[in-house]
């Protein structure tokens, strides 16, 4: 575990509560680590466990899933489906030996900018303490070694702007 390890964390959040809560954190100018990148879905009920596996595969060290509080779901019950799915999936991950801090779940409402910051900071600190998710990365490296690809931009790029 290196001193300068900066974990890569993905957060799958619902459009109505947590994404808006994160917006509120911004509007309130609260600060949190830069490690977390949000992927917006309409409802936490639409978060497929495959998303989580894909994110680990692409090098995520930790994942946060967050939606509306129970009974507050914009779509009535999506978050209950998310919770149920997470219960099972979390067990499965634990069974396969993944540390439980790698995948975390929380409820953050649209008015809880502060809670969003707390949750994100906690996840970042947890993962930082755990270190990189090496085992998954190894699989991934083997995989990419088999199919090397370097993305190339074939377009002729026009760059202009304030200071370009």
Partner 1 sequence: MKIGVFICHCGENIGRTVDCPRVAKACAWFPGVAVSIDYKYMCSDPGQNMIKDEIRKHKLDAIVVGSCSPHMHEKTFRKAAVSAGINPFLVEIANLREHCSWVHDDIDAATDKAIELTKMAVEKVKHNQPLTTIEVPVTKRTLVIGGGIAGIQAALDVANAGYEVVLVEKEPSIGGHMSQLSETFPTLDCSQCILTPRMVEVYQHPKIKLLSYSEVEKVEGFIGNFTVTIRKKARHIDETLCTGCGLCVTKCPVKKKAYNSFEENLAYRPAVYVPFPQAVPNIPVIDETVCTYYKTGKCQMCVKVCGREAIRFEQQDTMVTEDVGAIIVATGYKLYSIDRKPEDSMLKGYGEYGYGKYKDVIDGLQFERIASASGPTEGEMKRPSDGKVPKKVVFIQCVGSRDESKGFSYCSKICCMYTAKHAMLYKHKVHDGEAYVFYMDIRSGGKMYEEFVRRAIEEDGVKYVRGRVSKIYEENGKYIVKGEDTIAGMPVVIDADMVVLATAMIAQPEASDLAQTIGIPYDKYGFYNEAHPKLRPVESTTGGVFLAGACQSPKDIPESVAMASAAAAKALVLFGSDKLEREPVIAKVNEALCAGCFYCRKVCPYSAVEVRDIVTRDGVVLKQVAYVNEGLCQGCGTCTATCPSKSIELAGFNNEEIFAQIAAL
Closest separation in Å from C-beta 130 to partner 1:
18
Which one of 62, 64, 66, 85 is in contact with partner 1 (CB under 8 A)?
Answer: 85
Residue with tokens 């300068």: 4
The site string for partner 1 over 3-42 (x = CB under 8 A, - otherwise) reads: -----x-x-----xx-xx-xx-xxx-xxxx-x--xxxxxx
Which phi-psi region, left, alpha or beta, contains residue 7 (left: φ > 0; alpha: ψ -120 to 50)?
beta
Nearer to partner 1, 145 or 158 (CB): 158
Nearer to partner 1, 104 or 115 (CB): 115
Query: Contacts with partner 1 in 37-66 (CB under 8 A)?
Result: 37-43, 45-51, 54-55, 58-60
Which one of 117, 119, 123, 127 is in contact with partner 1 (CB under 8 A)?
Answer: 117
Q: Are 21 and 108 spatial neighbours (Cβ–Cβ below 8 Å)?
A: yes
Q: Are 76 and 21 spatial neighbours (Cβ–Cβ below 8 Å)?
A: no
Residue 164, CA atoms < 13 Å, CB-side half-sphere: 6
What pairing do the DSSP bridges indicate for beta strands 9-14 and 62-67?
A: parallel
Q: Are 132 and 56 spatial neighbours (Cβ–Cβ below 8 Å)?
A: no
Residues in touch with partner 1 (CB under 8 A): 8, 10, 16-17, 19-20, 22-23, 25-27, 29-32, 34, 37-43, 45-51, 54-55, 58-60, 71-78, 81, 85, 109-112, 117, 151-164
């Amino acid at each position: 575990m290196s001193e300068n390890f900066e974990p890569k964390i993905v957060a799958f959040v619902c459009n109505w509560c947590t994404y808006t809560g994160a917006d509120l954190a911004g509007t309130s100018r609260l600060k949190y680590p830069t490690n977390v990148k949000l992927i917006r879905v309409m409802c936490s009920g639409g978060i497929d466990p495959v998303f989580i596996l894909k994110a680990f595969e692409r090098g995520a060290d930790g994942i946060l899933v967050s939606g509306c509080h129970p009974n507050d779901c914009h779509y009535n019950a999506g978050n209950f489906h998310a919770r149920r799915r997470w219960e099972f999936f979390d067990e499965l991950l634990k069974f396969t030996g993944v540390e439980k801090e790698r995948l975390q779940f929380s409820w953050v409402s649209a008015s809880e900018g502060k809670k969003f910051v707390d949750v994100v900071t906690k996840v970042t600190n947890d993962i930082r303490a755990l270190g990189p998710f090496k085992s998954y990365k190894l699989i991934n490296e083997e995989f990419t070694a088999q199919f090397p690809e370097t993305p190339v931009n074939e377009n002729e790029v026009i760059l202009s702007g304030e200071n370009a």
